[in-house]
Amino acid sequence: MSRTAELVISPFHGEHDHSHCQTKALENAIEHCQALGLKLTSLRKQVLEIVWGSHNPIGAYDVLQELQKKGHKPAPPTAYRALDFLVSAHLIHRIESLNAFIGCPSSGIAHQCQFYICTKCGHVAELNDGKIANALSDGANELGFESTQPVIEIHGLCRACQ
């Protein structure tokens, strides 16, 4: 059986223009939200842009600080609500072990993914491997279990840090 994995985000070591990623993520988010009748408010757009500001995970308080730098004074629950909306709309991912968020390049699509997290440099790679997703789904079905957010997080060293 052949491996049908798709590398979605790779760790970036060096220069990278994130404005392209931010623009594409915002365009996808607007299209996705319009199609589903979801309200992508100005604050939610700004939070999405902040999360996509790099390809590294970002914590909620860091998002809040970035909003404050832009002249906003939102209370922490406001930032959390925006992040929760973006996660539930499948526009960003929450990386549980880091208590942080990262942009989802397969935005708007519910999918099982695996995160490879470098413990040295902090970069994260997202891999969508259909065989792993199917194995998790089959296991859940066998147990009569309905999984809601199957995410696998693997910590180790990326190629550049080994």
pLDDT for the residue 59:
94
Q: What is the pTM of this model?
A: 0.83
- Containing structural domain, residue 82: 5-161
Residue 12: pLDDT band (50, 70, 90) is very low
What is the CATH classification number for the domain harbouring 147? 1.10.10.10
* Percent of the chain clearing pLDDT 70 (strictly above): 85
Alpha carbon 60 to chain centroid, angstroms: 13
Interatomic CA distance for residues 1 and 108, integer angstroms: 29
CA distance 132 to 137: 9
Residue 95 pLDDT: 93
Question: What is the pLDDT confidence band of residue 148, given thresholds at 50, 70 and 90?
Answer: confident
- Dist CA 151 CA 145 (whole Å): 15
Taking residue 95's Cβ as centre, other Cβ atoms within 10 Å add up to 19
Residue 9 scores a pLDDT above 80: no
Q: What pLDDT, on a 0 to 100 scale, did the predictor assign at position 109? A: 67
Structural domains of the chain, count: 1
C-alpha neighbours within 13 Å on the C-beta side of residue 29: 29
What confidence tier does 24 reach under pLDDT thresholds 50, 70, 90?
A: confident
